[in-house]
A and B are shown apart, each in its own frame.
Chain A
Amino acid sequence: MLYRCIQAENRKLHASPIWIMFFLLPVISAGYGTFNYLQNLELLTKSWYSLWTQHTLFYSLFFFPAMVAIYAAYLWRLEHLGHNWNLIMASPVRPLALFFAKFVVVIKLVLLTQLFIFFLYFLCGKVFASLPGWPPPETFFYLLRGMLGGLSVVALQLILSMIIRSFAVPIFIGLFGGIVGMLAASRSRGLYWPYALMQYGMNSNKSEDLLAGSYLPFVVSCFLWLVAFFLLAQLLLTHRDVKS
């Protein structure tokens, strides 16, 4: 049942305007990061690591939450428009399977975006910053870790866009969440705020590994937030009336 739902969800992305977003946001983010790096060469002396911090600082803070929020809002907008919500909720599938399918599709998009981000990081490092050799392998690992941290944000944004019919409001909440996440992380309270987990994982704006030696709390926090949001989604999907 889940596979069928994911398949249906994937079909909706065909010829969809979301792909413009997919290319645009990472390019803006990478441009911004590279520019910042090149302007502050005297401060940023750790070549690939420094470039990484500049690339991911803005990405983790603004672009990632905004992007996840837009992906989630877009997938729900398809259902809010034209009463498609009725159509899919009246299909013989469990409502949580529909939610999970959207989750998988957003993860897929985000994963592709993360890879694209890494590609742009590499490209900018070589072409604009003329850095020697290859990017350190840790950076690629940070990327996957960031993804793990981002899972609960994806689930939360999907819930927000499911219950808020507006396209923009959940995106603003996402942006706000990212900024609060930065504040939470700077006071070492990041594990209690889902938006900060992604920033932890990405190791943005820090040259030393933020999570060195403390993986367990991070992973546990990611897991607990995710489970909590899925339980909330199940509750909302089965107890609320479909409004479309």
Chain B
Amino acid sequence: MQTVIETNALCKAYGKHLAVDHIQLHVPEGCVYGFIGPNGAGKSTTMKMLLGLIHPSAGQVFLLGQELTAKNRLPLLRQTGSLIESPSGYLHLSAQENLQIVADLKGIPHKDIARVLEIVHLTGDRNRKVGQYSLGMKQRLGIAMALMGDPKLLILDEPTNGLDPAGIQEMRSLLADMPETTGATVLVSSHLLGEMEQLVTQVGIINQGKMLFEGSLRELQRHSRGSLTLRVLHPQKALPVLRNNGISAQLKEDLLTLPPLRDELVAGLVQTLADSGAGIVELTRHTKSLEEIFLSLTDAKGVS
């Protein structure tokens, strides 16, 4: 599989502070890649460097197999759609007019406007002024602008920022289908891991300018395994079984809290507990928050 975006030791320094610190990004073709980190981690700065909006202090950017230089920036941008620090758009103009401006700048026929409006469900509101739009509609217009001209690569910075749950859900399904419907590779950033989990297949985790993890979502989920909550009818029967298996469980009211465990162990444990007659009612696995995953990732690195 070809990598569509690749960076090599990409750095951006502001004074002595490294906002982006030797980032190695690898985005395979045809995937939705989640670029995840807390606010101020360096996501936007990295994405701006991918588009040539910010000049790297060191390192290289490769888009669609070519190094991004001042010379080939324009042909590469022609195949790229982006949404950076949304929402954008000219508020005194309608969505239709905003998209006409984008079409002019990208040099693509205006008939593409109807297509992108359809994708983001703004066809009915296309003649309203963008200033009257809700935040969700503005975000969708931003996506429409990025989609103009059928780009091979979409770079979207926090497209779900400020959306209500329904809007987030809508944006998620819009983006998840993107590789299939348009053939585009999508790089999408967020500060919420949970928001990304149902959307992305590849993830990169960034914190304080450093890449902590890059790989498939499944791989990350192994890191993100949190504690388990177990509810049984007879905790007194369950406790000795757990103790015998070397698991330190805490009993609070009628809920047992178990430390993070591997899948195989959990499966075996459930079997044993059921056989002991404890009467399993409920077993919940907690996903770690992004902050907790950061801690476990940095700890893991420190140990190895």
Bound: A92/B102 CA distance, A: 10
Bound: A239/B100 CA distance, A: 29
B87 contacts A82, CB within 8 Å? yes
Q: Which B-chain residue is minimally distant from A7 (CB atoms)?
A: B104
B105 contacts A89, CB within 8 Å? no
Given A14-B97, A238-B70: A92 and B91 within 8 A (CB)? Answer: no
Q: Restricting to B66-100, which residues have a CB under 8 Å from any CB of A?
A: 70, 74-75, 77-78, 80, 82, 84-93, 97, 100
B106 CB–A CB distance under 8 Å: yes
Contacts of A84 in B (CB 8 A): 88-90
Q: Which A-chain residue is minimally distant from B77 (CB atoms)?
A: A92
Contacts of A130 in B (CB 8 A): none
Point out the residue from A8, A83, A90, A92 that lies within 8 Å of B86, measured CB to CB: A83
B100 contacts A11, CB within 8 Å? yes
How near does chain B come to A88, taking the closest CB pair, in angstroms?
A: 6
- For A173-198 the 0/1 string (1 means CB < 8 A from B) is 00000000000000000000000000
B97 contacts A11, CB within 8 Å? yes
Contacts of B52 in A (CB 8 A): 90
Given A5-B105, A12-B93: A92 and B51 within 8 A (CB)? Answer: no
Contacts of A24 in B (CB 8 A): none
Bound: A92/B104 CA distance, A: 10
Contacts of A242 in B (CB 8 A): 48, 53-54
How near does chain A come to B94, taking the closest CB pair, in angstroms?
A: 9
Point out the residue from B78, B89, B101 that lies within 8 Å of A11, measured CB to CB: B101
B55 CB–A CB distance under 8 Å: yes
Q: Which B-chain residue is minimally distant from A241 (CB atoms)?
A: B54
Bound: A242/B52 CA distance, A: 9
Count of chain B residues with Cβ under 8 Å from any Cβ of A? 32
Chain A facing B: main interface SS: helix
Q: Which A-chain residue is minimally distant from B138 (CB atoms)?
A: A82
B78 contacts A92, CB within 8 Å? yes
B105 contacts A82, CB within 8 Å? no
Bound: A241/B104 CA distance, A: 24
A14 contacts B88, CB within 8 Å? no
How near does chain A come to B276, taking the closest CB pair, in angstroms?
A: 60
B145 CB–A CB distance under 8 Å: yes
A90 contacts B51, CB within 8 Å? yes
Interface centre among B51, B74, B93, B101 (most CB of A within 10 A): B101
Bound: A4/B102 CA distance, A: 10
Bound: A90/B48 CA distance, A: 9
How near does chain A come to B56, taking the closest CB pair, in angstroms?
A: 10
How near does chain A come to B252, taking the closest CB pair, in angstroms?
A: 48
Bound: A5/B107 CA distance, A: 9
Given A241-B55, A242-B53: A93 and B90 within 8 A (CB)? Answer: no
Given contacts A78-B90, A82-B90, A90-B52, list 6 more A-B pairs with CB under 8 A. A8-B105, A11-B97, A82-B91, A83-B87, A84-B88, A89-B53
Residues of A at under 8 Å CB distance from B?
A: 1, 4-5, 7-8, 11-12, 14-17, 78, 81-84, 86-94, 238-239, 241-242, 244
User: Can you list the 5 inter-chain pairs with the closest CB atoms, starting with the nearest?
Assistant: A91-B105, A8-B104, A92-B78, A242-B53, A86-B84
Task: Provide a sorted-by-A list of 10 A–B residue pairs whose CB atoms are within 8 angstroms.
Answer: A4-B105, A8-B105, A12-B101, A14-B93, A15-B93, A82-B89, A84-B90, A89-B51, A90-B80, A92-B105
